[in-house]
Structure 1
């Protein structure tokens, strides 16, 4: 489905297979998915296949859009991190501008204008393709969101692997949150494992230790805020020790989210299998109970089967839309 988006200058196309073109340099290459779960758009900027992103117009079933609406924004063209289970690790082509980030938001909002001002919780996730902290424009885009979407239901969310060398970015993120999103901001660290060796393999760039994440998160979380989320996408053979989590993190500031490793082409190539849909699922339940006993809020988020069926996991839509651009090899 292509439609007019005045904020981005995207015009509707008469051919559903053809890109919708607009004067501001953004094209809608394709939109796929299921409206009752999520629809993923591949947007091309600057008239060049290198500058493609995925943007998701999603729901949180069974909640209706009027109650909760989730817009996922890509923060980079491709991703330089290279996680071995993620299809976004394709040829990296740099960063979108703040305007290109907001254009993704406008694309989703223009599809359901009747809900923009009245949605109970409209969450803009900077959590699709790319590592948000590698793009300074993400901070500008977050700061501009309240003006773009003047509604009390607006939330902003950032998911990050906590790269080293970006301390100034994270300090500014806290400032933006304090200024514009107190009580309406969700910060998630993609931790993946409690083992340093496993974390190095799963997130193959220099990143903060668990202790550094704990120190920053405790500063970031203020009274009335959502707790900082520690996300573990658990794969078979990857260490997850609730005792390590409890020894490093304070449940007053942190919650734990356990998710599956979603099926992707790179994940299959590397032999990843998710724990949550395996014979070890009972062990995850035991770990959850151990964390609950230590005072942590714990969420087992398996997700909708439709998300796997429609190929809405990170990087999959761009991989299909531009097959000539090959993913990075798995080392």
Structure 2
């Protein structure tokens, strides 16, 4: 695999490359640090987030996030995501997954160790459709050791819980075993929920996600998480229905935490008139939801990106291969040449 295009934005770099079966997209992200863009009372970070200013990211030696594609495009057709515009979901190969990570690392040969390397299976595609994600994660330490030595590796799977995946339960059981035993808890599992109302979820996920009751039943079969709890993610829209009491009846706060974010401003969100009004500037949209979830026993993280992060298309739901370009300052390199 060879990188075809690199787009450098203030908080990272987006890469496109030809994989075994077409064009893939992956990226490097720098982090502002948890004290800049999250509120999490259970971690002692209690101030309200009234916007996150554009700023300087931490050195990659402190934290490095590499987000890779598990599929060429995606067939979930979520109303808030641009990845389906790239095409239907076809699984990336094991070699594709390995190449994405190694190529991203090779763009920064000056980094030989980092305190934390997050590998997110979350750029393009629904990862639970691709069993090679499991094989890739098991070998991650060996793959990365020649470049970053004994750096702490933290892989994360984010899933929309597709209803048409006959291997879904097997994938989740295998992933939780990898999380708990291969990585001793230093791995993540995130469920994209977005609403506790099934009619609303039916619309947002275009009828391709399981109902909340069905997700709950599957989650009851999962082992207790070692390390970080499993995350229930809510990308908050103006009309989102999030009922903490209902969520508590379906998911055990001893195993599950909640994460709240604004909906990223993708082209699909604009076309479908889905947004989080004020979500990048004031804490107001999150306040009542956070309080309700906390009152029902959940640990809650509120994460708000900066405008540089969202306009740079680093955030989830975006895809350069869909034809969209950043609206923040950026530089494009094709075949290592500045365009």
1: CA distance, partners of 2:309 / 2:266:
12
Residue in 2 aligned with 1:96? 92
Q: TM-score, normalised by structure 1?
A: 0.81
1: CA distance, partners of 2:178 / 2:283:
39
- In structure 2, the CA distance between the partners of 1:283 and 1:260, relative to structure 1 (3 Å rule), is closer
Deviation at 1:282, TM superposition (A): 2.5
Work out which of the residue numbers 72, 85, 98 in structure 1 matches 2:67. Answer: 72
Residue in 2 aligned with 1:60? 31
Work out which of the residue numbers 278, 289, 309 in structure 2 matches 1:287. Answer: 289
Give the secondary-structure state (helix, strand or coil) at the position aligned to 2:24: strand
1: CA distance, partners of 2:245 / 2:225:
26
Q: How does 1:207-286 map to 2 (within 5 A)?
A: 207-217=209-219, 219-222=221-224, 224-275=226-277, 277=279, 282-286=284-288
Deviation at 1:280, TM superposition (A): 9.6
CA RMSD in angstroms, aligned pairs only: 2.4
Conservation of the 8 A alpha-carbon contact between 1:70 and 1:125? yes
Conservation of the 8 A alpha-carbon contact between 1:77 and 1:96? yes
Q: TM-score, normalised by structure 2?
A: 0.79
Residue in 2 aligned with 1:317? 320
Aligned length: 292
Work out which of the residue numbers 127, 133, 137 in structure 2 matches 1:132. Answer: 127
Say which structure, 1 or 2, has more relative contact order (CA 8 Å, 6+ apart): 2
Larger mean CA deviation between 307-316 and 234-243 belongs to 307-316
Conservation of the 8 A alpha-carbon contact between 1:259 and 1:276? no
- In structure 2, the CA distance between the partners of 1:305 and 1:169, relative to structure 1 (3 Å rule), is same
Gaps of 5+ in 1: 1-25, 323-331
Residue in 2 aligned with 1:143? 138
Residue in 1 aligned with 2:103? 107
Deviation at 1:191, TM superposition (A): 0.6
Conservation of the 8 A alpha-carbon contact between 1:75 and 1:138? yes
Gaps of 5+ in 2: 34-57, 326-339
Deviation at 1:45, TM superposition (A): 2.0
1:174-207 residue CA offsets vs partner (Å, 9 max, x unmatched): 3333441221111000011110011111112443
Deviation at 1:93, TM superposition (A): 5.3
Give the secondary-structure state (helix, strand or coil) at the position aligned to 2:111: helix
- In structure 2, the CA distance between the partners of 1:173 and 1:248, relative to structure 1 (3 Å rule), is same
